[in-house]
Structure 1
Amino acid sequence: MLKTQKLVYERIVSNTRDIRWDLPEGLTAGELAGELGAGRNTVSQYLNEYVERGEFVKIKSRPVLFLDRRTLEELYGVSLPWSVYDTLKALRDTLKPGEAEQVQGEARDFGKLIGHRGSLEACVEQLKSAMAYPPAGLPVLLNGESGIGKSMMAQLMHEYGVNRGILKGDAPFVTLNCSEYANNPELMATNLFGHVKGAYTGAVAGSAGLLQAADGGVLFLDEVHCLRPECQEKLFLFMDKGIYHRMGDNVNWHSSKVRLIFATTEEPEKVLVKTLLRRIPLICHIPSIAERPADERHELICRLFREEMRTTGRQFYISRRVYHLLMTANFDGNIGEIKNCVRACCANAFLAWQSGDGRENKGPLCIRLSSLPESLLLSAGEPYGEALEEDGLISLEELDRKFRAERSENSVYAQLLREYQAYLERGRDFSRLLEIMLSRLEGYYDRLSYAEGVLTTPRYRLFESLMESVSSLLAGKYSLALHSRESRFLAMHFYNRSLAGREEDSGRLSRALDGLMEEKLRKERSISQEICEFLEKNIGITTGNMDRVFLTLAVKSNLRDVDLDKAQCFILCHGHSAAGSMAAAANAILGAYVYDAVDMPLAVPAEQVIANLLGRLKKLRGCTEFVFLVDLGSLEQIFERVRDLDNADVGFADNVSLGLALELGRRLLAGEPLEPALEAAAAAGRSNCRIACNRKKEDVILAVCATGLEMATKITRLLENCLPRPIPASIRTYDYAGLVEEGLQAPVFAQYHVKFIIGTLDTQIPSVPFISLDQLVSSQDVGLLGRLFSDYYTPDEIQALEQNLIHQFSLQNILDYLTILNAEKVLSLVSDALEQLQRRVGYSFSKQTVTGLYLHLCCLIERLVLRRDTAEEAGIDRFIDRHGDFVVNVKNCFSVVESYYSVEIPVAEIRYIYDYVKADRNLDE
């Protein structure tokens, strides 16, 4: 079995690497089963397990296709947020193959660079621009700590120029390490510009110099800060006009078309003369390894180990603690030091392998704590030696797969998208989705709180400063000050986002989620849009759908107890800033974002102001309450134009004042309904008010329980999980005691159309149907679900709802009996098998029979796994003779269950199943 599973994995990886999008062969369960000579169900089981673990991608086409996720991400330089896609086109749209640096084979130029689509993306774009700028490129300065790869980036810049036809194929790449000439400026000038015969003592022949040698190519001046100012000054004329004199010859001019790349580990402003610095238009600051995201360090470590594997011809297994140290240790020498550390590890492991029975052993090399350089162990506070090892060895391939699966699982954007997908599939109401997403946000904040090293970098301090500005902006405009905790976490999040380079997006799905936020959390979404625009303007980060979703949730989390969307309120006043001043003052005093302002300049016709207002209202789709507080002279005209807003209640009051705005704001924030709140505020402010009620009440289903809200919440979630698809009605938890006491006067009936109530004890509300939990899962009232959900579902969907209810109640019972098996998994397999059995015998079992069989069969599987006693075998031969067809049907239907758990259902137990079914309906003898 394990061998087949391994072959399935290897074939999918290979076929993904060689995929032809127009003819994707070898990617279906049937094709693989035929190729490997294995059972299709077995292969399908392995494929779906890999999908569940996030290692494979599944395309729900006909036939279903499977691809290797890691291979796709490496080929296309993206992070896939999902493991399941509806169509092959949907996957390709996410991969964006037109933007890939590579499709097959080796990466080219900057595609070789770890982080070229992440933390180094901005730098790479600068280097591309410097190389391509006509007519001969631009000088560029690479600035960063020692060991970060400045020399490699210079070489890749040259390779990029050759690959794009900017440079000729044989264009030279010449390096000059300036530190060698720090104390000898004349020798540096001689090597750089060349000299003529007799230019100095010992110059018996002339030399062309490096500028001439690099003509048509690239000259890389490393450690340029080591040059004295007079050496730097010798470059000015050449950088300005492309001409120079050779040493000892002040008459003849020479020219060279060279693209200059400088590099320094120091602060350019302190070590380079200003006149040289002015001649370098592009300064590229390369982040240290400590400033780069964890996935890039992981990729670097894996790449370095793979290089050593090729060198030694051996597979490596790595201790998890070694990997953890490499991922978290402080490497002052950056990539260069990590590379030396990895090489030392491999050398030590190779020596240990040889000193044992390595000459005969062709197995893998093991990288343990004892393989690490002693200096790293001491700096990390780890004990040196093998005795205190380890917490397990893992292959490089498995380590990489686990890292990527965990990264995808823990990505906050991917988590939010998964919850939204579940919301669409299971029909949860938005309040439940919002609750789950806010909890995901809190979990993400918890993970950020453990981040180390980030807070010390200059770039992070920039983001921290920007978030303080954002907080001030919100406080001044909306009276919404971010808590210091949220401000810090937002700084960390967008700092990491800037390093990652690209938004983790999922096209249509993320756009739909952003649209849902705009519909349900209008004001929070508006604030998030303003923050995104601020970030784009000030740091150049490109924001997208999921950034807006994330910020909308962050604002909502900060104001969890404030309902900003209770009503959309406007203050309208004549003059240039009267409305804005009053709205800002009211928001500040109320401590919440309640009012928007509409200023009406005296020179602008009222009709134009109203037209602009109507344009704003159209964007507030889904809003069900509007309030307009206006000054004198405008009430009637505005009321007539907006009183008939579709599906929205509209309130008006004239003679607006700060007192009126505050009184109404306090009442709305306290949860008072619009109509009584506006009437009371208008009376207190001596204003006239009018209300137009146009809103259609939303359908709701109430879940209640006499024992309290906790059980009612469980009922809500259970029903949500059973719905075959979303319905235009929400399921809401409500207080049982309050409902019984207030009856039809309860506020929920004024705000919503209550379709029915579900719970444990009847609430005795006249004209509102009540359904007990027992009724839902029993067969006492056959048409009950059909009557309750006839407005939403087809007969087939109602049947699916019945099955889901049975499944959910059975799962709760089974959880109390099973000790080792995953109840949800075994129930899922048993449920599929029973559905097949019902089709084979030609009729459907009753609810009671299905529920009883669920419990019996799940417990039976666990007994078989544990090898405990099952039914007696007496009389089996006679049963087989009489009911052989039933035995065959059960065996066929439960083959997947038997294969998954490596068990075999005895015929004696099949006889019990037969008796159970017979009690439900008499079978033909």
Structure 2
Amino acid sequence: MKGNQMLRIDKVYQTLCELWTNKSIKELHVIQGTTALEVANTLGISRANASLELNKLVRDGRAIKLTTYPVRFLPKETVEVLLDRELSGITELETIADLDAVRQADEPIADSYLSNSKNPFDQIIGHQSSLKQVISQAKAAVYYPPSGLHMLLLGQTGTGKTFFAEKTYEYSRYEGLLKEDAPFKSFNCADYYNNPQLLMSQLFGYAKGAFTGADHDHEGLVEKADGGVLLLDEVHRLPPEGQEMLFYFIDNGTFNRLGENGVKRHSKVLIICATTENPDSALLKTFVRRIPMTIQIPSLSERPIEERVALTQFLFAQEAKRIKKTMRISIDVINALVHATTSGNVGQLKSLVQLVCAQAFLKSIHRFDEVDIDICNLPDDIREDWVSSRDNLARAMVISKYVDVVTVIHPEAVAVTPEASTDYNIYDALDKKLVVLENEGLSHSLIKKTMMRELQLYLKKYVKNYDSTSNLLNFVDKAIVDFVNQLKEIAEAEMRVKFDRRFTYFFAMHIDAYFSRGEKVNLLVAQEIENLKKEHPLEYQVAERFRVEISKVFHHELPDVEVAYLAMLLVNMDTESLDQKIGILVAAHGNSTATSMVNVVTDLLGVAQIDSLDMPLSMSPQQMFEEVVEKVKKLDLGKGVLLLVDMGSLSMIEPKLIKASGVEVKIISNVTTVMVLDAVRKTNYTDRTLVNVYDSVKRDFLASVRAQKTSKGKPKAILSICTTGSGTAKKIEVLLNDIIDRATDEDVRVLTISALKIKEEIPKILENYQVLASVGTKNPNLEAPFISLERLIEGSGGNMLHQILSEGEVTEVENQSQNFVIRDLCEDMLEAHLVYLNPKLILDFLLNWTDAVQQACQMNFQNTTLIKLIIHSAFAFERVIKENPLRYEDTPSAASLECLPLVASTLSTIENGLNLSLSEGEKMFISEILVEAISVS
């Protein structure tokens, strides 16, 4: 079987490689990859088998997965050859453009269109001015006999240190100082800052058996860069022992792999180090002495105004090339951008130019060949700074020496770098999408919404360096944003819901677009508008209120179709109820039994989300069920309904009731007035989930309920049920025995039975045992409580079982019972998937961590939440070792940011214990899991 699997995986990999043989870079960006279905059809196997093998290839590092829809795959080796880049550590991407985003993060100063020279240094803006000295230093370093001087590049983030190192490498090849196929390797020391052993193994390689997981010899970057250049970025993060090993290599040209004794290896490498720190304080003096050439890359603010203007023009030229439209750029825009970017980060200037171009392009999307870019296209903060600056006139006078009042850039006259020409073209995509959506007859609001999502995704990926406050809302006039915030308050009050910031985003863009385009064709017929009124009366009523407010503020009467669009936006907004509560329904046989209980409770506690259902003996079961369904629907406010009933027979309708009503329901039998009081108190004065309240009420009244059900004189037992009576049932048996050991000293046996033989076996069991509860995959419909497998895993089932065994007494053992269930469920998964970390060790760490988190939050999370936290965090630490941390690219919520310090402080113990440090992105994902847990607890 194993041989067949290997044969199949090899066939899948071979097919994937063949499908991408002779493909171009352009095809790579357009097609993005191959789906599992395409591979399956080519090989004549099932899609499931193709997907299985492709994901194995990703885990083995032989393929790259793109999380598009559908998911696509690429052979890594083929992509590396195509891009002429090493993609070590990359196994998953959102799009191929992510690879370009990584390269563009530190690219500031290419200037191909200013110079036709093939000399790489001549293609840099400022090569005859601010960068003349640093270029001269680099030339002297690479020419120095016999094989060049190692260099240390200093400069602020984004000034272009990585780019300058690449140009130095290209110049060395251009001058014949390095062979044409000489390697260029780049290594970021910060990625391994807290794991010196792993850092050194990446630099110098390791021998088989050097550490856990080292199952083969590994060649380090020093060997791979032999005959070429090795860039050590953020070299100040290199630990002292790493610096010592490196300067030993610099002195002698020899090194050893980690775990290798008695072997001297040789490599000839030109080392270029880069740092943002002061080398005198951040690096060993003995190390600095061995790097004789120190080159200071000037910050943007230190470069002359003509270079900053030239950089801005060049960046606009790149966008013109991609838009394929002529740009007409106001001098005010260049003035504002040049003086807004003073931090030394040229990447920020690039981000701002892209932001401005995207805004201008969107507003002129129906024009054929030109895009006008003026001061209105700037983000609010930059525009306001430009307006309020007293130096504008003087600055404009200076800039006018280099540009006209309007700078015209024609795309066909611009020669951009090969890297830029292969970028994903968002403008082409928007143009094409506009045509498609209009041909399909979609509403303008929906077209706008779709295209704005596309643009937002682009900006999120490529405009990373710009301040987080400058998002798409900067495209809208501030007056409209303020007005929409007022509409948001109106909608929240009338609809009794809470909208997030997307409300402001969608409605501001929609209203701004409406005023920009003026009247439009009515794409909705009158009947569709009437249907909207009937199906969503509340949303339409609020939209009508919006029309009144727009008329007051802007003195403009919205047509009916625009009111309909506003209503449609309201319908499609995700909301969170302001008054979500658990509903309570009391149902009892008799003419007024249930009503009497509810009246007593409301008299004592006041108004509550509660109702009663009196069921005369003449009421048929079907009528009773239908009335319960209707009552449950009316009581549900988003958090479910707790049904308190008088007879056990009513408790059996729970699954049927959930299906018929579409509402989450929990049922407790043997209702009393005291029980109703307890339930209302817990739902009114605490923010708890339905399961929390159900467990709490049941626990408080469990002893009296069980007293009515016990069968004295027989040994006690708990049934473990699954389809076969083995497998899952045996696993449950282990969990149950642990709960029994912790909850009671009595002899309680676990009996495993098959769900297929319940009818035959249950009568025999009841003759010989007092069944306290049954657990598993099928309800045997006994008087004793049934706990589903899902509830056992979730945690509430284990707690309920503990309370049954301990006669309803709650002890500190409750949390321990949670921990052992979690341990048993997590251990198998961690053992199966963790490669570098010890599963038992990391599990011990994370169990203690979740206890600390719960204590800090003063909450007990459900097992499902704890399992999610443990598994995600374990894989996060594994990703640190694999050098493949998750990147957090969304705008974090306020709640997530509030939780982040708690996550960071509680995780620090594990980080110190493992000598591994999670990235901010990984911690933000964990914070989101924690926020989700708190919101539902």
Q: TM-score, normalised by structure 1?
A: 0.29
Q: Point out the structure with max Rg over C-alpha.
A: 1
Q: TM-score, normalised by structure 2?
A: 0.29
